[in-house]
Amino acid sequence: MTHAPNDRAPSPTYQKIAKTLGQSAPSGTDLQRNQQKIAQLMAQLNQIVLDKPQAVKLALSGILAGGHLLLQDLPGMGKTTLAQGLAKLLGLSFSRVQFTNDMLPADILGMSIYDQSKLRFEFRPGPIFTQLLLADEINRSSPKTQSALLEAMEERQVTQDGQTYPLPQPFFVIATQNPLQQAGVYPLPESQLDRFLLCLSLGYPSPMAERELLKGQDRRELLKDLDTVLDTEAVLLAQQGVKQVYVADVVLDYLQRLVAKTRASQEYHGLSPRGVLSLQRAAQAYAYVSGHMEVTPEDIQAVFAAVADHRLGQRFAPAQVVGGQAPQTIAQRILADVPVIV
């Protein structure tokens, strides 16, 4: 498949954002330069999160697609390190919330407190008012607390006491969750799972990577040494650049065949229209991160499991990340059954 040239004219929205940021409308060369920075960012992040280049690439693709990430794995696998590394390299303000079973929605969103000097209630923003929120071990909190994130993740705003407060832009949630087999966890409802663009698992490192961890510098020290590669303005422009990535009709045909296959099963509900849009957006972001401006079937295949499995009811189990050949997921079986060309 021939890739569309990198000098395609930016959209009016892209030009408008650039103008708002006090920049000229980006050319194909600007997009290429941004992609060079993205390659640099991934290289640095791969020095922190060892032996997981595909997970790193997918995580960055999710961020540049404007979506939220769910990282599910056993404790101590590097989920928090990945989130902190992304925040540092992208120059985003960062907050971490440790979810517990006694946490209340106000602990995340904020609350109104009476100010005696002004004789009125004033809203005190919670930790969610940041550009990147790490919701650590999200499934250890009650469903009531989990649902507090729904409006923020979908609408990028918080409503308290009848007042609506916009969240900073850009805004992302990276949530981590432990296996359901562990004590003290609550399964995330389908409505919340659907808010996450991608769901990833890191798994155990290879013996070589583990040896480097044992002999190398502490990951927390390495995180302190990271410098920002893409600032907030560059992230916003990259998000608009993702929307410029071309999707040919023949690729859309393949995407829709995959979606139709998910809806043909009696074992699970198929992808919703929001899920379909998420699949296209993730594939565009993956293509952009890969350095080309046209989606290929390989881009769709690369993101399909991360977009679809958690929406199709695929539950994470520790056995899936323990050494040996992992069993096929629902999405992988669908990919094997659906031809690229008919």
Average pLDDT over residues 190-200: 91
Domain that residue 217 falls in: 12-245
Residue-level pLDDT at 203: 85
Which residues partner with 114 through β-bridges? 121
Q: Is residue 321 part of a domain?
A: no
> pLDDT (tens digit, 9 = 90+) per residue, 20-48?
444 444 455 566 677 788 989 999 999 99
Calculate mean pLDDT across residues 224-239.
Answer: 88
Region 150-160: what's the mean pLDDT?
91
- Residue 327 is predicted with a pLDDT of 65
The residue assigned the tokens 């296996």 is 179
Say yes or no to pLDDT of 245 above 80: yes
Q: How far is CA 48 from CA 175, 200, 268, 321, in A?
A: 19, 17, 37, 20
Of residues 76 and 11, more confidently modeled: 76
Within a domain: residue 291?
no
* Count of domains forming the chain: 1
Q: What is the pLDDT of residues 138-147, one digit of tens each?
A: 988 888 888 8
The three-point CA angle 124-128-132 to 5° equals: 140
Q: Which tens digits make up the pLDDT trace of 283-313?
A: 999 999 998 899 999 999 999 999 999 999 8
Least confident of 79-93, 124-138, 220-234, 318-332: 318-332
Nearest C-alpha neighbor of 29 from the set 235, 227, 228, 241: 241
In a domain, 1, yes or no: no
180 or 274, greater pLDDT: 274
Residue 305 located in a structural domain: no
Residue 266 lies in a domain: no
Pick 24 or 157 by higher pLDDT. 157
pLDDT at 66: 94
pLDDT reported for residue 286: 96
User: Is the residue at 286 inside a domain?
Assistant: no
| Pairing status of strand 157-160 against strand 163-166 | antiparallel
> What is the rounded average pLDDT of the residues 70-77?
88
**Domain for residue 4, yes or no?**
no
CATH code where residue 176 lies: 3.40.50.300
Q: Looking at residue 322, what is its pLDDT?
A: 44
| Prediction pTM value | 0.85
In a domain? residue 281: no
Q: What is the mean pLDDT of residues 80-95?
A: 93
pLDDT for the residue numbered 115: 83
